[in-house]
Amino acid sequence: MIGQTISHYKIIEKLGEGGMGVVYKAHDIKLDRLVALKFLPPHLASDEQDRKRFIHEAKAASSLDHPNICNVHEIDETPDGQVFIVMAIYEGAPLNKKIEKGPLKIDEALDVVIQAAEGLQAAHEKGIVHRDIKSSNIMLTDKGRAVIMDFGLAQSRGMSRLTKTGSTIGTVPYMSPEQAKGEKVDHRSDIWSLGTVLYEMVTGQMPFRSEYHEAVVYSIMNESPPPMTGLRSGVPMALEAIVNKCLEKNPGDRYQHADELIVDLRRIRTRSSQQVSTPAPRSRSKSRMVISAGAIIVLALLAFLGRPLFMGEPDKAISLAVLPLENLSAESGQEYFADGITDALITELGQISALRVRSRTSIQRYAKTDKSLPQIAKELNAEMIVEGSVSRSGENARITAKLIRATDDRQIWTKTYEREIGQFLALENEIARDIAREVGIRLTEEARVRTTNQKAVNPKAFDLYLKGVSSGNRSNFVEAVKLDPDFGLAYAKIASGYFYAGLFGTLPAREAFSKMRDAAETALQKDNTLGEAHCFLALAKLHVDLDWVGAEKEFKRAIELNPSLVDTRHFYAHYLMAANRIEESATEMKLTAELDPLSPDMNLCFGWHCLFTNDYKGAIELASKGVKMDSSDGWSEVILGWSYERESRIQEAIVEFRKAVSHWKDGSIPLAGLAHAYAIAGNKKKAREILQQLLEASGRKFIPAYDIAVVYAGLGEDNLTIEWLKKALDERSGFLVYIKCDRRFDSLRSDFRFIEIMDSMNMPG
């Protein structure tokens, strides 16, 4: 056939021949490119079943679009009826040729197998099982890409099997036990075969070897492979454990999906330079164990917790961190999905009173880190780590979750879940229950009911919700409740948006806080166990009703429902500070910092607390840290300016307020701070210029009356200060409830009009 032109392909040379075809290199005359043409070998061309299988390969492979799967351009036929497949051609060599030169470096082997696993994951998500994964079917390009070839034996979900009854197809040394028996296989058979390839790359030999196929088959079904550590020095124990798990005889004991395998492989790759020796996945082969997997988990947890399991909640809450779930979706642009699911899982686990779950703002920095789990756990002060992956395919998705004991990086539990998108809130509940069970927590009856009664959510609404969580765009939540009016959690997020709008004056405060109340109450009508909704109802009672007792009741209920809600705890700490309950406030702030130890926001929260409790040096230190973390953070600069002002370092305060004005677009808080600083520095002309700017702006948009009162206080104009504080009371300015702590109004505290305002606010104490 060399030199012939078939259709618009001129055949250049023969590349190779296998059991399912002959492959030629050809020139595509129309598109001026090199391609590979695959024909059925002559002895199979007349067999109708082989012809069907050949065509099926083209259909199976052409449905896959992934960089680690050979790209099929088209299927065509010669004038005499020969069917051929037109495929991409790759410059490189098959993996088996590289292995013939000797075992691969560990990192190189990991890179190849991860790429191959990613290709398999994409195929499996489409319901396609390769059934002939082997080193000769993995092409290594000159650019280092691993490409899975030859889908000639592939089987698609929903398609009839193309093999004869009782027949066995595949390549014997790579066959799974079920494949060797001629039984029906699924995607887990590919995982076995890929484990065999990994073993081959690392050791240079096959895990099951003999001169006779029958002996190889016997070994595959009955024997364990020789330990890799005995064949090559420097093989991490964790890598051997991964291979052993791939090569479990029972498919149910292997990795259940390729994305689970990918997560463990990546962990090994990032830590290979540290000579990782802790076995992350636990093998459950009866030939390698003397006690059950359940017993191992029990013994490990007994050693860790020092108490019997399933005997109620622990005396001390267990600290746990959920690391960002890895996005393994074949579709691009799904990072928000993994980010949002991580947040949802943190929220669900936080509802378990015996857990203290680290905040999303602290764990985000570990999304792409090379740090070891023990190091991460130390930084987060977490005893247990949850990590895993999420993979989305259309309206369905899969989560793999793993529970790891931080002290020795030992995995004690793993499970994979698959659901439709609309069922994911219920799935988060299920995962939380499973993790609670694994660490020996017995749920209260209320928690048990709460985690089993989650309703399905409109899939599109849930997708919008996740986008909102990831991006912070509140309009996503509004659109979500339009699609699903019963979506309580989305209403809670809407309430959150209105709170910040009212606090910082982007909307009229009374309007924003009233809408916050409406959203929170609606959320609780849909689900009265939402801690977030109780928190925002508390803030509505505080800011609108000035009902301090009612607000505290809601704060406590929110914390009871979810002790790990960072925002709730820090709002409650500020409530206690405003109520002049300073020691209680400090205790609550400490608990908040334990939940969110690495968040820049904690510097600001503590800084604000220090400022209002007269610890100005502490406030300066913490606000300065905030500025170092983000030099454009106007809120850090405002707190720093306030603190310098209280320390009588007025010029430094002015510098910080100027920076804040430049970074905080249209913000009245930094402008008011700057004007107040100018006023007490004696530059009343500058202060009045800014005051006039604020007054003129108030005719066009909402400017909190409280901010204008601050400027008049700096100017020493008591009557106008009182007048604007009364307006602030009428409009419910966001920062008014903290007036007892605001030292800028100290000169008025004996003024009966100021006392009347305080009385009208029902201020405690």
Which residues are part of the catalytic machinery? 132
Measured between alpha carbons, how far is 147 from 141 in angstroms, rounded to an integer?
A: 8
Cβ atoms of residues 520 and 743 within 8 Å: no
Kindly give, in sequence order, each residue whose CB lies less than 8 Å from that of residue 684, ignoring residues fewer than 6 positions away.
678, 715
Q: Which of 613, 665, 604 has its CA nearest to residue 637?
A: 604
Measured between alpha carbons, how far is 622 from 610 in angstroms, rounded to an integer?
A: 9
Q: What is the CA radius of gyration of the chain?
A: 32
Measured between alpha carbons, how far is 106 from 88 in angstroms, rounded to an integer?
A: 29
CA distances in angstroms from 74 to 55, 83, 85, listed in the order given: 11, 11, 6
Kindly give, in sequence order, each residue whose CB lies less than 8 Å from that of residue 30, ignoring residues fewer than 6 positions away.
8
Kindly give, in sequence order, each residue whose CB lies less than 8 Å from that of residue 90, ignoring residues fewer than 6 positions away.
70, 139, 141, 145, 147
Handedness of CA 562, 568, 570, 574 (dihedral sign): negative
Collapsed DSSP state (helix, strand, coil) of residue 138 = strand
Handedness of CA 692, 698, 699, 701 (dihedral sign): positive
Helix (H) or strand (E) run with residue 626 in it: helix 616-629
Q: Which of 185, 98, 107 has its CA nearest to residue 140?
A: 98
* DSSP track, 642-663: HHHHHTT-HHHHHHHHHHHHHH
Collapsed DSSP state (helix, strand, coil) of residue 618 = helix
Residues in the chain: 765
Q: Which two tokens stand for residue 726?
A: 């009364």
Collapsed DSSP state (helix, strand, coil) of residue 21 = strand
Cβ atoms of residues 196 and 109 within 8 Å: no
Interior CA angle at 246 toward 154 and 226, to 5°? 120
Measured between alpha carbons, how far is 514 from 761 in angstroms, rounded to an integer?
A: 17
Sheet strand arrangement including 72-77 = 5-6, 9-18, 21-28, 33-39, 83-88, 72-77
Q: Which of 522, 523, 541 has its CA nearest to residue 531?
A: 523
Q: Which two tokens stand for residue 612?
A: 């209002």
Measured between alpha carbons, how far is 13 from 512 in angstroms, rounded to an integer?
A: 74
- Residue ranges with strand state E in 204-357: 318-322, 326-327, 355-357
Q: Which of 578, 526, 530 has its CA nearest to residue 551?
A: 578
Collapsed DSSP state (helix, strand, coil) of residue 17 = strand
**DSSP-derived pairing of the beta strands 138-141 and 146-148:** antiparallel
Cβ atoms of residues 385 and 320 within 8 Å: yes
**DSSP-derived pairing of the beta strands 384-393 and 326-327:** parallel
